[in-house]
Structure 1
Amino acid sequence: MKKQKLFILFVMFTTILTAQWKPAGDKIKTKWAEVIDTDNVLSEYPRPIMQRSDWKNLNGLWKYSITKYGNDKPKIFEGDILVPFPIESSLSGVMKTVGSSKEVWYETNFTVPKKWNGKQILLHFGAVDWKADVWINDVKVGSHTGGYTPFSFDITPFLGNGSQNLTVKVWDPTNDGQQPRGKQVKNPDGIWYTPVTGIWQTVWLEPTNTKSIENIKALANIDNNTVKINADVKAASYGDVIEVTVFDGENVISNVKSEASQDINISIPNAKLWSPESPFLYRTRIKLISRGKVVDEVKSYFAMRKISSKKDENGIVRMQLNNKDYFQFGPLDQGWWPDGLYTAPSDEALKYDIIKTKELGFNMIRKHVKVEPARWYTHCDELGILVWQDMPNGGVSPQWQSRKYFDGKELKRTAESEQIYRKEWKEIMDYLYSYPSIVVWVPFNEAWGQFKTEEIADWTKAYDSSRLVNPASGGNHYRTGDILDLHHYPGPNLFLYDAERVTVLGEYGGIGLPLENHLWKTNNNWGYVKFKNSKETTDEYVKYAQHLMKLIKLGFSAAVYTQTTDVEGEVNGFMTYDRKVDKLDFERVNAINKQVIKTLQK
């Protein structure tokens, strides 16, 4: 009876906590916001490219406070926040601004499952913007800077019995600082959006042995039907072995063992090539064996695909996919949400925009000045979409020359700013290296914080020679990297050409259609051109696409249309910001997009 009463009290307490939370503010929301369960927030395994069988999700209601910069941990917290939604978002339940003069404190309690006794306990953060300090049971276990990449701490030595206390402090200066921030500004307007501060991806626990696999890199070579796999092993010793089993569906096609410190080259006979039309993935099981015993095991995958460039019979440098000319065509994808800002309200929502992009007939997405959670890239791998990955730059350039090769003075960053850029760009590339959907790295966009362009482009190519480098989307232009990328609004225009590199139209379009009851702002909504209904907007889109086909024959090898959805004050999406209305005629768009893509096919 006593146990039953305690259980009833627990249920009542949990119900009260859940009832207290609700989305903040009166902005538009997606359909997924209506079914948020605070006890089951983004509950899917957060790192499917390296998946273990056991883990614990720490998302949910935490305590929060906003304090002045430099203050001690508050004795009393202000209220509840729904992690991992950023504090400025509606779904956090808070929707408060922070800024450079303040910090956000988080606190929660958790228990470690008893079956994990004897294991190393890792505390993972998907992403926290920007500087995070972390305490376990009032002992500081570490810090991390960088708003877009995962990080973790081995918290085993700091754990006690029973309930454990986790405290996180975050500082994010937005555009008062020198860190990468993408489209975030403290005074959002036009193409600039609401700040995102704090935890914005899943927080989770994972048990491992002392010896464990820390990271996996896969690099396919379709020209000789092999894949190279490298497993980075923690606490490896002589005699440790990595075993890789490769599956085609349920069938084992290869099983290879190698000394743990060595790259493993695996033959893939009659390889099935990955493409947007046929996104086949080989699944893998990777074991770490020490003294004859399996001490770690993860599931992963890879794809046999190649991205390259080559001159065609007319001397135009074309992008190639799997050694064939292939026109890449897709939308500029900001990855913002009216209710969660940087954070999609559910995994279904995260996947939804990719599915709709495929429905529109596109084969590519340019992920614009933002980095997504790991699950987004796995969705791209599985659904079949090429990805151009931008660096989320901060800062501006003293001058932007978009219509000619740059002949001015490049921006000189401070030593601190340059160090931050280099550190975070490398971490982003390391984080995303093994996702086959990613085919282009984009270090700079429209001269935002652009510096040492040739050096950065050369470093990027040297660090990952398996992908193309688009050094400066929209300029400032240099004869470096693999791509010359032009921006022109609203219609396509080929005003600069490079005979020795791929020439692409990295942004165009921006056709606006504001729809009442689906607007973030009630006035001053913005598009490069605006129309009154879906037919007019679709007609204009088709007209641009028809003109684009002529320019493809003259030299364009890829194009990016602005954009997937409306975002805050921008009303130039294929969908409304709340994803509730498809604003253009998707069937007509699909038909013309497929014609555009087939322009290069023989």
Structure 2
Amino acid sequence: MTTSIHTLPETASPRPEFPRPDWERADWHSLNGDWSFKFDPDNAGLGQNWQERDDAVFDSRIIVPFSWASPLSGIGVNQKGTGWYRRTVGWTPAQAGSRLFLCFGAVDYVCDVWVNGTHAGTHTGCYGSFEFEVTDSWHGDGENVIVVRAEDNDLSSQTRGKQGYGEIRGIWQPAWLEARPQHFVKAARFVTRLDGRIEVSAAIEAKLAGKAELIFDFNGGSVRHREEIVLQQGGNELQTAFTIDRPRLWSPEAPYLYEGTVRLVSDAGMDAVSTYFGIREIGTELFGERNYRWITLNGKPVYLNGTLDQSFHPTGYFTYPSDSEMRDEIHLMKRLGLNFVRIHIKPEEPRKLYWADKLGILIMEDMPCFWGNPDEAARTVYEREAREVIERDFNHPSIFSWVMFNETWGLKTDDEAPDGTRDWIPAKQYLPETQEWVRDIYRWAKRFDPTRLVEDNSACNWDHVESDLNTWHFYKNGYEQVRQHLNNIVDRTFPGSTFNYCVGNAQTDAPLMNSECGNVWGIEGGAGDSDVAWHYRYMLNEFRRHDKLCGFVFTEFKDVINEFNGYYRLNGTDKRFGYEWFVPGMTIADLHSPDFIVIDLPPCQTAEAGSVAEVPLLRSSFSDRHFGQTLRLEWELWYDSLGDREVADRGSVALDWNEYGVAPLAPLSVRLPERDAVAVLSIRLLTPEGGVATRNFTTFDVRSGKPGGAYGGNGQTISVPVAQFAKHTFPYQWNALGGHKTNGGAEGEFEYEIELPNREELPLIRGIELMFEAGAKRLLVRDTEGAGYTKPEISFMHGADAKTELNPNTYYMTDEERHESRLDVYVDGERIESMVLPDDPADSRGVLSWHYQSVHNKLEEAGSYGYFYKIAVPGRLAAKLDASRKLKLVLRSDEGGLALYGRNSGRYPIDLLVRCE
């Protein structure tokens, strides 16, 4: 049965699977589901001993493990403060004499737990997992009462991250009971080497001193190791190692896991834990004569095609409604050709990390930030929580990097000193002592986990101090601006450069990588919902020009409530990028190929009809899979000839493919068509077997220079600008893109009075064809009420509403949702055609609407386009028109509206055309 993202089946126990596949025991009991609940706004519960009261005091029901602010909790109230949970449980471990632990994936923020009135423990933090032993207070036969008090007051010192999208409050990850023998393995850390050596650090808890045997059994018994040990009462630490012959390595392309068990056998019984590890090494290396490093996976360069994942859901907020949705999200990333994801300002749920391990995608995991001053209270809770997270997630082979801070959030200190011009203006300063604390955190993380790359601060203010990755953020729109920005970054990146680092610090040879990019905040007003496909292709093309750049993080995986820059909508539905129109079979995954052909040109150029265009090319390779092979570059210059696809030029080039990095190729010379057209240069890089390694394209607005344009065909063509209608009846009407697009909102019509050629120009009109580009017209609030939007500032990082339909930049990108309109075409009062306009689309196919944007960072119906229509006027009407030489054309739409595209808008370089034969 398929479950909607917005609801859960009434009979289902939410999230019934074991929460941690990386460390799983067989004898456990889920506590997810229905609990009694009560808010405690006056903090009276402790004084009134609610932990000892019956269900009568708890006046609500809540579904665990969902934040009480989220819809799926059944509460759905964003109320900070204290909430109390109560549940009666009858469960007996399978093995008599077992020790019993009450486990929580995560609770926000201060959590106290009682079992049968006995206080089990306290935990502070939002994202770390924790457990309490409750063996002595548990009634093996009969019912047990579990009470949880969660206090979340949004303190400035709390590690909150970006909870403004939807608040995490109370229990927000699974809770369960787990039985263990008297001696048990508390944890085991696996460090893997490419030669197959597996080093293990194990922590063992023993009720009594004695002998035991630790047994590792993986890969169906083909990997086994035994270690005899002598246990001391209490905690024990063990170091051991074993070697796997002919090890199979883990990578996103081949995510092989060694699955099995760790068993502790002693006189007190046997503890068996199902777990796994993946053999892989993360590093950085110098290649050739370069003085800068590349990121490596298993000793080879890896180009990181990544996205930012807020892990936010409309009904569960930061808690996934189901395990299948976690799995499906990894599939959605991989189908785009991505090989890594940055989990933003929060650690990820262990089960999603499991699917990343299992299906193969690299993870850059952020530590959550606090939003107040970096004082002692904030530093203390941050350091404790960072340790909890790294300890818990250490064994996931998918995690290649820890990001300790983001964009200096929580690292600036209030400073109310006069600024010299105005008195007492509050400001924030990133103090030198805080910078040194960041350096200490980086170095602590490197000591604690030397197997991964560590980033001090994912920088947007040029403020690294010490880092394994030299990263930066940028949000810019416009080809020239992106190109100049990247050139500047690359030119200023070299060992010893002080660029992108705090005063007194300098770059090493650490790999250069972008850790956030996109255009949503690169547009004046930001956060408008618009096409990302056009910008994305030229940005990726520019990234691959630079040999120093090791990868990027695109903002973002899915839209969120105030950022509409995702590959997908928030509900996971597709956006249409439209690349297949330019190159058959092309998808966004072609832009993420490790072997790539850069077309070193703008995304569109204006060119003269019949001219020859020189097209510079680069090869960019971050894989050795085709080394030693001859690949073939096939290219084709084509255009749409008013409904027919015509090829103007084509060719192929053999390429020896032997080296990593970026290098120039011989440029192409292509002849453009002898007429007005949007010409597309499409390229494919073919393997010896005929497979396609990558696809790419660029476009040309080819102009004949002739009045009214030159479009080929027989007869005489009249070109009528779409904004030159005689009258209209729409309740909302406006022109855009310099008058090259006209819009009619809701039901109405445009009427055109067209003079046909006189008898001296055309003695006889044998037939008439009408040609135009049209789409539906989706009305936004700003179209009917006027623009007015919230200016983006820091509140947007806390989830402020972007008021998208009021944003002047918004023009919804093509996606699965369609906005249809019915169009009737009348000539001299007689309807000659009726059709459905499928949508009001905007994506990369709107070449001219992008090419003729007047301001790079303020969008005007950018990327919008329509559908090409060619309609023959019936002969009986053509005969009448031959006599009158006047044509009255009416285009009438229903409530879906009408958009008409002219010469410098849409995807066809035409006005409204009337062809007389």
Structures share a fold, TM > 0.5?
A: yes
Alpha carbons 2:307, 2:340 under 8 Å: kept: yes
What is the correspondence of 1:411-560 to structure 2 with a 5 Å cutoff? 413-450=374-411, 451=434, 452-475=437-460, 477-490=463-476, 493-494=485-486, 495=489, 496-499=492-495, 500-511=509-520, 527=526, 530-531=529-530, 536-551=531-546, 553=547, 555-560=548-553
In the alignment, which of 121, 128, 145 is matched to residue 142 of structure 1?
Answer: 121
* C-alpha distance after superposition, 1:83-136 (max 9, x if no partner): 11101111011110122xx20111111111363442111111111111111111
Q: Does 1:571 align with 2:544?
A: no
Higher RCO (CA 8 Å, separation ≥ 6 residues): 1
1:545 is paired with a residue of what secondary structure? Answer: helix
* C-alpha distance after superposition, 1:345-398 (max 9, x if no partner): 1000112211100010000010101122211111111111111110111116xx
In the alignment, which of 622, 645, 648 is matched to residue 600 of structure 1?
Answer: 622
Q: Structure 1 residues 490, 588: CA separation in 2 closer, same or farther (over 3 Å shift)?
A: farther
For 2:211, the aligned partner's letter is D
CA radius of gyration, larger in: 2
Instruction: Give the equivalent residue in structure 1 for 2:169.
Output: 197
In the alignment, which of 212, 218, 223 is matched to residue 253 of structure 1?
Answer: 223
* C-alpha distance after superposition, 1:49-102 (max 9, x if no partner): 111112111111111111125311385222111111101111011110122xx2
Instruction: Give the equivalent residue in structure 1 for 2:892.
Output: none
* C-alpha distance after superposition, 1:556-597 (max 9, x if no partner): 112100001111222111111112344545962111112578
What is the correspondence of 1:203-602 to structure 2 with a 5 Å cutoff? 203-222=175-194, 224-235=195-206, 239-248=210-219, 250-259=220-229, 261-291=237-267, 294-313=269-288, 314-395=290-371, 413-450=374-411, 451=434, 452-475=437-460, 477-490=463-476, 493-494=485-486, 495=489, 496-499=492-495, 500-511=509-520, 527=526, 530-531=529-530, 536-551=531-546, 553=547, 555-584=548-577, 588-595=587-594, 599-601=621-623, 602=660
2:532 is paired with a residue of what secondary structure? Answer: helix
**How many Å separate the matches in 1 of 2:573 and 2:83?**
33
Alpha carbons 1:133, 1:168 under 8 Å: kept: yes
Shift, 1:264, TM fit: 1.7
Q: Structure 1 residues 361, 575: CA separation in 2 closer, same or farther (over 3 Å shift)?
A: same
**How many Å separate the matches in 1 of 2:329 and 2:476?**
23
2:459 is paired with a residue of what secondary structure? Answer: coil
* C-alpha distance after superposition, 1:488-524 (max 9, x if no partner): 0035543252432111100001559xxxxxxxxxxxx
For 1:502, the aligned partner's letter is P
Report percent identity of matched pairs: 28
* C-alpha distance after superposition, 1:433-454 (max 9, x if no partner): 1111111110010001133221
TM-score calculated relative to the size of structure 1: 0.83
**How many Å separate the matches in 1 of 2:595 and 2:557?**
18
Alpha carbons 1:489, 1:528 under 8 Å: kept: no
2:238 is paired with a residue of what secondary structure? Answer: coil
Shift, 1:236, TM fit: 6.4
Alpha carbons 2:454, 2:467 under 8 Å: kept: yes
**How many Å separate the matches in 2 of 1:262 and 1:453?**
31
Alpha carbons 2:519, 2:535 under 8 Å: kept: no
Q: Structure 1 residues 330, 84: CA separation in 2 closer, same or farther (over 3 Å shift)?
A: same
**How many Å separate the matches in 2 of 1:137 and 1:527?**
53
Alpha carbons 2:8, 2:14 under 8 Å: kept: no
Shift, 1:485, TM fit: 1.1
Shift, 1:166, TM fit: 0.8
Alpha carbons 2:218, 2:259 under 8 Å: kept: yes
Q: Structure 1 residues 505, 63: CA separation in 2 closer, same or farther (over 3 Å shift)?
A: same
Q: Structure 1 residues 108, 130: CA separation in 2 closer, same or farther (over 3 Å shift)?
A: same
**How many Å separate the matches in 2 of 1:422 and 1:114?**
35
1:156 is paired with a residue of what secondary structure? Answer: coil
**How many Å separate the matches in 1 of 2:17 and 2:388?**
24
- Of stretches 467-476 and 558-567 in structure 1, the one that deviates more from structure 2 is 467-476
* C-alpha distance after superposition, 1:4-46 (max 9, x if no partner): xxxxxxxxxxxxxxxxxxxxxxxxxx82333434542101111
Question: Matched residue pairs, number?
Answer: 528
Instruction: Give the equivalent residue in structure 2 for 1:164.
Output: 144
Q: Structure 1 residues 117, 251: CA separation in 2 closer, same or farther (over 3 Å shift)?
A: closer
Instruction: Give the equivalent residue in structure 1 for 2:663.
Output: none
1:458 is paired with a residue of what secondary structure? Answer: helix
Gaps (5+ residues) in structure 2?
A: 232-236, 412-433, 496-508, 580-585, 597-619, 624-659, 661-917
**How many Å separate the matches in 1 of 2:573 and 2:174?**
25
Q: If each structure's strand is expressed as a fraction of its own residues, which one has the higher value?
A: 2
- Of stretches 88-97 and 153-162 in structure 1, the one that deviates more from structure 2 is 153-162
Q: Structure 1 residues 114, 216: CA separation in 2 closer, same or farther (over 3 Å shift)?
A: closer
1:82 is paired with a residue of what secondary structure? Answer: strand
Instruction: Give the equivalent residue in structure 2 for 1:21.
Output: none
In the alignment, which of 22, 40, 65 is matched to residue 49 of structure 1?
Answer: 22
**How many Å separate the matches in 1 of 2:281 and 2:57?**
55
Instruction: Give the equivalent residue in structure 2 for 1:8.
Output: none
Q: Does 1:67 align with 2:48?
A: no
**How many Å separate the matches in 1 of 2:511 and 2:315?**
38
Instruction: Give the equivalent residue in structure 2 for 1:409.
Output: none
Alpha carbons 1:527, 1:571 under 8 Å: kept: no
2:516 is paired with a residue of what secondary structure? Answer: strand
Alpha carbons 1:36, 1:345 under 8 Å: kept: no
Alpha carbons 2:303, 2:622 under 8 Å: kept: yes
**How many Å separate the matches in 1 of 2:190 and 2:228?**
15
Instruction: Give the equivalent residue in structure 2 for 1:23.
Output: none
**How many Å separate the matches in 1 of 2:244 and 2:182?**
32
Q: If each structure's helix is expressed as a fraction of its own residues, which one has the higher value?
A: 1
- Of stretches 494-503 and 41-50 in structure 1, the one that deviates more from structure 2 is 494-503
**How many Å separate the matches in 2 of 1:221 and 1:117?**
40
Question: What is the alpha-carbon root mean square deviation over aligned residues?
Answer: 2.3
Alpha carbons 1:38, 1:82 under 8 Å: kept: no
For 1:50, the aligned partner's letter is W
Alpha carbons 1:276, 1:363 under 8 Å: kept: yes
Instruction: Give the equivalent residue in structure 1 for 2:906.
Output: none
TM-score calculated relative to the size of structure 2: 0.55
